[in-house]
């Protein structure tokens, strides 16, 4: 198993844990059964070898080895296919792949995803494919690809070829025992393309959504290609039969929907109805209309929630849409007419509904598909999609939030149909906002049945499979606390990770102790040979520890100690000496007997180390002085996306996995005299909104909203919407108000409470033991720490794993070990080691700088602090494409402001000014000097 390639592919493609685990299982399978890579092999023997590795593997179910990876919808099977191909090529030199798609939709999607410069390109991040991307050969162009095939001459560089074919088309070609077109003679090849592929010695078969065509005639024909092995991907690892579902026997990875929900990779599905609703009291037509109307109410509410979330958090806006599942084509046409008619919310959705089925052809079909594929775009008007059969895989949208099923089906089928297409998350992860993370299934007539079905033990929402595999070296983690260089130099920490983990028995050459830098401290200027601690005897250590405690008290005495250098003044040393001596009196008799030492010498040496191993970081707070006034600038409310709809009954929903309930209902008994009062009374609940100060603005904004609602609703319905959704409306208005917030004070006072602060310990999680070191790895094992430590100058080939690594060997860093978030940071550390006097990466809480992001004020932790002869740099390294993002700019503004105040304090104390640098990653190369980055200086405006 090539661990370097495995970790590189995992990191570069940013694989999610279930994807990474799947790739790891393939790598372990190839390690356990290397015969998989041989064209001639004993298939039963390979199966026997792999059974010991995968408890769920019973049979390949084919003439060649075939492994199934079952991952829940929404986790990312296409990206996993890309990871499989990248790994097999980079680790094992495989160049030829045959990818099967079950239908035209997925076929077209796969071609797009394997084509460079497309939005969801699966190889983005694989450097080897950036210069020479794989050649994509399809079922439509393979007969023109002969020249490409013939170009591969012996000894020439081999291109990676990905053949993508639609199995449904092949199935149609082989009806009646005919040969598929791929088997027919191609003059340009001198043979059929099928025979050309069958003659390849390194062909690997990948089958997307393999449950759709497992036993089809087309697959039986494809089997004659005799690939090295097959890789199947599906969310449903079983085949339907008259006796029920028949499970696959070749599953080696099972990550079902229940685990994906629990891990937060998909939306939470919820079933929705009206409170006390009796479906039997309505005709089928009435029931359909009620479900559609309630679906639209949910849709409009969700639209506001998504818009408000985007505004509050400074992220891209998401336009949700509603999916209506029709019985058949004629029914779909009837629904389209209803949804666009005056009888349905007065035709407010006319032009915003599309019907997707087989009733159209030619230009109409192309226009329909174009609108369907663009449904995620905020500029595309579609808000309702009518679909006859939503079970077609390959329609990967992230903005489906409301589903209204109108076709007859049992509860289990409704669950499986509904959750299949709507679970993908628009932001790639859960947000913590229920409405943003939830998929609503409107099922008034099936509400209780769906709840009961979801609570069954074998429900796809409940069913989880967890199989414990053999432990991996990467599973053994240890928490390492790295104290500052000053603490380590004084001997007040042993850099221990705590209880020593159990390591493997077999030692390799790499398992030897650190040779060139036995201690992570070795080589640090002024620390003595090997970085030996200043104090080793227990009495001296206790005294030094007491000195550090006293110094901590003096941080706040700016009049006596304005900077750390002031600790070296004789009068300060004398005061510290007296206090330390006083504190030590109760214990001196017990441990000084027979052991004498010079306490003044301990104080002198300890303070010298502290000053040497410190960059003065003042504690700065900015407080208003005098009267503070706040307010909001007047503005025009953005109501373009707000189309809330009325409803007579309370809507109730229940989460299928957790059984939590939520409602959309008016507040009982709340009747306001003026329509605007519904909104104003909800707005004044916010702590930063004062009625007496902001009354005019509040009523102005509320009036704009009432005017907007009155533009498409009669007054009675406007009141209904305001009574039910006043808090939702207020939240959206408040989010817009925050963009126009201002604060003024008579003046602001900058308070410096400390002239310097002790460096906080850093806490890291690292892989424990010798087994973490791969063969050929430059890392060495530190017995004192129980972890592998890498020299910071060594090139990191597995950049995707850099966050798991600890680095040492520094001379000028104020910590003996550091962790980097990217290889860019490691390269910048190389520059700092050359050009800075001293530097470090701050821990959380070291600076206490806070920045404003939406309604939150998170803490900003800079990447680096570096001390030079003339100034102190605070540095942030960022991907070039992220520099202009709202969050990065908000952090930069807060940091630049802090640096200005710190420079003002430095001018008072005669120390160095501070400068903030925001560096694009592509500028950080070792040929540059630290001074060259001055052009990226940011100042506080």
How far are the Cα atoms of 85, 125, 201, 204 from residue 93, in angstroms, in the given order? 10, 19, 11, 12
Structure tokens at 662: 């939520």
Backbone dihedral angles phi then psi of residue 247, each to the nearest 5 degrees: -65, 150
Binning pLDDT at 50, 70 and 90, where does residue 177 land? low
For residue 529, what pLDDT is reported?
A: 36
Average pLDDT, rounded, for the chain: 81
Does residue 712 carry a pLDDT above 70?
yes
For residue 286, what pLDDT is reported?
A: 87
Does residue 878 carry a pLDDT above 70?
yes
Nearest to 135 by CA among 111, 104, 101, 168: 111
The owner of tokens 């329909």 is 368
Reduced 3-state DSSP string for 844-872: CCCCCEECCECCECCEECCCEEEECCCCE
Per-residue pLDDT tens for 221-273? 777 888 999 999 998 888 877 777 788 999 999 998 888 888 888 888 888 88
Return the percentage of the chain with pLDDT > 70, whole number.
Answer: 81
Q: Quick one: average pLDDT of 379-400?
A: 77
Binning pLDDT at 50, 70 and 90, where does residue 516 land? very low
511 sits in which H/E element: none
Residues found in the chain: 941
The whole-angstrom separation of Cα 897 and Cα 902 is 9
Strand partners, 903: none
Contact 851, 860 (CB under 8 A): yes
Does residue 824 carry a pLDDT above 90?
yes
- Count of CA atoms in the C-beta half-sphere (13 A) of 56: 20
Strands 161-166 and 135-138 come out as parallel
> For residue 815, is it left (φ>0), alpha (ψ between -120 and 50) or beta?
beta
SS3 label, residue 478:
strand
Per-residue pLDDT tens for 834-867? 999 999 999 888 888 888 776 567 889 999 999 9
Torsion of CA 366, 370, 371, 374, to 10 degrees: 170
Binning pLDDT at 50, 70 and 90, where does residue 390 land? very low
Strands 914-920 and 191-192 come out as unpaired
SS3 label, residue 835:
helix
Nearest to 835 by CA among 724, 927, 716: 927
For residue 472, what pLDDT is reported?
A: 46
For residue 665, what pLDDT is reported?
A: 67
SS3 label, residue 400:
strand
194 sits in which H/E element: helix 193-198
115-129, 140-154, 829-843, range with the lowest pLDDT: 140-154
Binning pLDDT at 50, 70 and 90, where does residue 327 land? confident
225-239, 785-799, 927-941, range with the lowest pLDDT: 785-799
Per-residue pLDDT tens for 364-384? 777 777 787 788 888 899 999
For residue 250, what pLDDT is reported?
A: 93
For residue 155, what pLDDT is reported?
A: 42
SS3 label, residue 798:
coil
Contact 518, 532 (CB under 8 A): no
255 sits in which H/E element: strand 251-255
Does residue 813 carry a pLDDT above 90?
yes
More confident residue, 338 or 147: 338
301-310, 516-525, 582-591, range with the lowest pLDDT: 516-525
Q: Residues 544, 550, 554, 560: is their CA dihedral positive or negative?
A: negative
Does residue 156 carry a pLDDT above 60?
no
Does residue 462 carry a pLDDT above 70?
no
For residue 521, what pLDDT is reported?
A: 38
Does residue 450 carry a pLDDT above 90?
no
How many C-beta atoms surround the C-beta of residue 123 within 10 A? 25
920, with CB counted inside 10 A (0-12, 13-18, 19+), is middle
Contact 684, 618 (CB under 8 A): no
The whole-angstrom separation of Cα 782 and Cα 65 is 42
For residue 144, what pLDDT is reported?
A: 67
pTM above 0.75, yes or no: no
Does residue 508 carry a pLDDT above 60?
no
Helix and strand numbers, DSSP H then E, in the chain:
25, 33
Contact 619, 378 (CB under 8 A): no
How many C-beta atoms surround the C-beta of residue 91 within 10 A? 19
The whole-angstrom separation of Cα 860 and Cα 890 is 10
For residue 915, what pLDDT is reported?
A: 96
* E strand segments, 381-460: 384-387, 400-405, 438-442
Binning pLDDT at 50, 70 and 90, where does residue 788 land? confident
Backbone dihedral angles phi then psi of residue 864, each to the nearest 5 degrees: -145, 155
94-108, 433-447, 734-748, 834-848, range with the lowest pLDDT: 734-748
Does residue 363 carry a pLDDT above 50?
yes
Does residue 218 carry a pLDDT above 70?
no
Backbone dihedral angles phi then psi of residue 33, each to the nearest 5 degrees: -130, 75
Per-residue pLDDT tens for 548-595? 989 988 888 888 899 999 999 999 999 999 888 888 876 665 555 445
Contact 90, 237 (CB under 8 A): no
187, with CB counted inside 10 A (0-12, 13-18, 19+), is exposed
Angle CA 797–803–806, to nearest 5? 85
Does residue 103 carry a pLDDT above 50?
yes
Return the percentage of the chain with pLDDT > 90, whole number.
Answer: 33
How many C-beta atoms surround the C-beta of residue 252 within 10 A? 21
Q: Which residues contact 924 (CB under 8 A, 6 or more apart)?
A: 824, 827, 828, 831, 877
The whole-angstrom separation of Cα 753 and Cα 401 is 51
670-674, 860-864, 895-899, range with the lowest pLDDT: 670-674
191-205, 399-413, 696-710, 834-848, range with the lowest pLDDT: 399-413
**Interior/surface letters 235-251, b for 16+ CB within 10 angstroms, e for the rest:** bbbeeeeeeeeeebebb
The whole-angstrom separation of Cα 297 and Cα 272 is 12
């Amino acid at each position: 198993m090539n661990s370097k390639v495995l970790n590189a592919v995992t990191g570069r493609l940013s694989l999610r844990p279930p994807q990474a685990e799947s790739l790891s299982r393939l790598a372990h399978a190839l390690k356990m059964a290397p015969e998989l890579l041989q064209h001639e092999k004993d298939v039963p023997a390979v199966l026997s070898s792999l059974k010991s590795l995968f408890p769920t593997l019973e049979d390949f179910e084919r003439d060649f080895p075939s492994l199934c990876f079952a991952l829940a919808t929404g986790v990312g099977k296409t990206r996993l296919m890309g990871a499989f191909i990248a790994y097999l090529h980079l680790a094992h030199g495989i160049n030829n792949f045959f990818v099967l798609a079950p239908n035209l939709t997925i076929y077209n999607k796969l071609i797009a995803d394997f084509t460079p410069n497309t939005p969801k390109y699966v190889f983005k991040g694989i450097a080897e494919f950036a210069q020479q991307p794989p050649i994509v050969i399809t079922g439509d162009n393979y007969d023109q690809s002969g020249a490409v095939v013939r170009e591969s001459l012996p000894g020439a560089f081999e291109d990676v070829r990905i053949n993508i074919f639609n199995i449904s088309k092949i199935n149609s070609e082989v009806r009646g025992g005919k040969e598929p077109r791929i088997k027919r003679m191609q003059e340009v090849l001198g043979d059929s393309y099928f025979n050309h592929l069958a003659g390849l010695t390194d062909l690997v078969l990948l089958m997307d959504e393999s449950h759709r065509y497992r036993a089809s005639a087309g697959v039986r024909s494809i089997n004659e290609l005799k690939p090295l092995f097959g890789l199947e991907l599906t969310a449903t690892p079983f085949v339907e039969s008259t006796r029920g579902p028949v499970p696959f026997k070749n599953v080696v990875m099972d990550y079902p929907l229940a685990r994906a929900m629990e891990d937060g990779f998909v939306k939470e599905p919820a079933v929705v109805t009206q409170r006390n609703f009796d479906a039997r009291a309505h005709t089928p037509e009435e029931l359909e209309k009620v479900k559609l109307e309630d679906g639209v109410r949910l849709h409009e509410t969700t639209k506001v929630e998504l818009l408000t979330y985007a505004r509050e958090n400074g992220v891209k806006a998401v336009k949700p849409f509603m999916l209506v599942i029709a019985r058949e084509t004629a029914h779909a046409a009837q629904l389209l007419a209803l949804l666009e008619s005056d009888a349905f919310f007065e035709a407010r959705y006319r032009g915003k509904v599309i019907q997707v089925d087989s009733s159209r052809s030619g230009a109409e079909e192309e226009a329909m598909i174009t609108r369907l594929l663009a449904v995620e775009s905020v500029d595309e008007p579609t808000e309702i999609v009518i679909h006859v059969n939503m079970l077609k895989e390959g329609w990967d949208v992230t903005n489906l939030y409301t589903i209204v099923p109108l076709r007859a089906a049992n509860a289990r089928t409704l669950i499986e149909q509904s959750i299949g297409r709507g679970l993908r998350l628009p932001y790639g992860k859960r947000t913590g906002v229920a409405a943003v993370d939830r998929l609503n299934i409107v099922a008034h007539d099936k509400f209780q049945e769906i709840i009961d079905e979801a609570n069954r033990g074998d429900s796809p929402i409940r069913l989880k499979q967890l199989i414990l595999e053999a432990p991996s070296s990467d599973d053994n983690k240890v928490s390492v606390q790295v104290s500052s260089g000053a603490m380590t130099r004084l001997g007040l920490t042993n850099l221990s990770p705590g209880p020593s983990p159990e390591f493997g028995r077999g030692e390799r050459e790499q398992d030897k102790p650190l040779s060139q830098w036995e201690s992570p401290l070795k080589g640090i200027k002024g620390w003595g040979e090997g970085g030996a601690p200043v104090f080793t005897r227990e009495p001296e250590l206790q005294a030094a520890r007491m000195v550090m405690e006293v110094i901590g008290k003096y941080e706040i005495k700016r009049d006596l100690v304005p900077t750390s250098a002031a600790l070296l003044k004789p009068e300060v040393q004398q005061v510290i000496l007296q206090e330390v001596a006083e504190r030590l009196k109760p214990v001196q008799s017990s441990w000084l007997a027979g052991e004498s030492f010079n306490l003044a010498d301990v104080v002198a040496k300890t303070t010298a180390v502290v000053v040497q191993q410190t960059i003065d970081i003042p504690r700065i707070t900015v407080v208003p002085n005098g009267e503070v006034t706040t307010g909001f600038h007047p503005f025009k409310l953005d109501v373009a996306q707000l189309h809330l709809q009325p409803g007579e009954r309370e809507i109730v929903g229940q989460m299928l996995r957790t059984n939590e309930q939520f409602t959309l209902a008016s507040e009982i008994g709340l009747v306001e005299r003026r329509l605007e009062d519904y909104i104003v009374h909800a707005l004044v609940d916010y702590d930063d909104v004062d009625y007496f100060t902001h009354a005019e603005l509040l009523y102005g904004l509320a009036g704009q909203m009432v005017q907007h609602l009155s533009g498409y609703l009669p007054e009675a319905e406007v009141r209904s919407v305001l009574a039910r959704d006043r808090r939702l409306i207020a939240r959206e208005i408040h989010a817009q108000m925050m963009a126009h917030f201002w604060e003024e004070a008579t003046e602001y006072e900058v308070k410096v409470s400390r002239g310097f602060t002790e460096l906080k310990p850093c806490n890291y999680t690292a892989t424990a033991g010798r087994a973490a070191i791969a063969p050929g790895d430059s890392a060495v094992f530190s017995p004192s720490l129980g972890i592998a430590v890498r020299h910071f100058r060594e090139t990191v080939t597995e950049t995707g794993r850099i966050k798991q690594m600890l680095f040492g060997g520094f001379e000028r860093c104020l910590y003996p070990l550091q962790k980097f978030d990217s290889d860019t940071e490691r390269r910048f550390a190389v520059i700092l080691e050359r050009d800075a006097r001293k530097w470090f990466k701050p821990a959380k809480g070291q600076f206490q700088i806070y920045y404003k992001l939406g309604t939150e004020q998170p803490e900003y932790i800079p990447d680096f602090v570096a001390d030079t002869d003339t100034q102190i740099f605070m540095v942030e390294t960022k991907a070039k494409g992220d520099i202009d993002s709202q969050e990065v700019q908000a952090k930069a503004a807060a940091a630049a402001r802090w640096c200005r105040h710190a420079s003002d304090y430095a001018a008072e104390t005669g120390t160095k000014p501070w400068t903030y640098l925001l560096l694009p990653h592509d500028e950080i190369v070792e040929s540059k000097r630290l001074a060259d980055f001055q052009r990226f200086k940011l100042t506080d405006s």
